[in-house]
Amino acid sequence: MFEKPQAEHNWLEPLVGEWQTETECQMGPGEPTHTSTGVTTCRSLEGMWYLLEGSGEEPEGGRWSTLMTLGYDPVKSCYTGTFVGSMMTYLWQYQNGVITAGKKLTLEAEGPKFGSEGMTSYKDAIELVDDSHWILTSEILTDDGTWLQIMTSHNRRKT
């Protein structure tokens, strides 16, 4: 039962630390862009799972908190995890996560459509820019079959 981290888990290690976060988010075509700032702290559970806990404030005064878990599933040969946020009731489950070009982890999820009924596909990606900067983006599959980027979060190392 006591499994050991795989080499793939090491890809997540650079996320460990405290980060200053600047986020822009738009919940669909024609929707206003919201900006917020905050902090994200990432810690490791013995190299097996990585927990990224974020919190911050929008300029309009709303507070937010998030928790993302990331790990690698050697049975399925992919990265996996979850995401929850204080601004929504849905538990996001990541699957089929793959690394491209050694610097970008793309995770798939299914979730509710914003502003309408039903579910759709999402892609969240973590791109390691360098040791002191990484970017989290989120895309939604629109009704016309195109991908629309709805969120960009720049994370810069504090410690």
User: In the chain, where are the structural domains located?
Assistant: 7-24+34-157
Q: Which amino acid is at 46?
A: E
How many residues make up the chain in this entry? 159
Check pLDDT > 90 for residue 26.
no
Check pLDDT > 70 for residue 19.
yes
Query: How buried is 66 (Cβ within 10 angstroms: 0-12 exposed, 13-18 middle, 19+ buried)?
Result: buried
CATH of domain 7-24+34-157: 2.40.128.20
Range in 28-37, 70-79, 120-129 with the lowest mean pLDDT: 28-37
pLDDT at 56: 94
pLDDT category of residue 28 using cuts at 50, 70 and 90: low
Residues near 30 by beta carbon (within 8 Å), at least 6 away in sequence: none
- Tell me which H or E stretch contains 10: none
Q: Which amino acid is at 10?
A: N
How many CB atoms are located within 10 Å of the residue 42 CB? Answer: 21
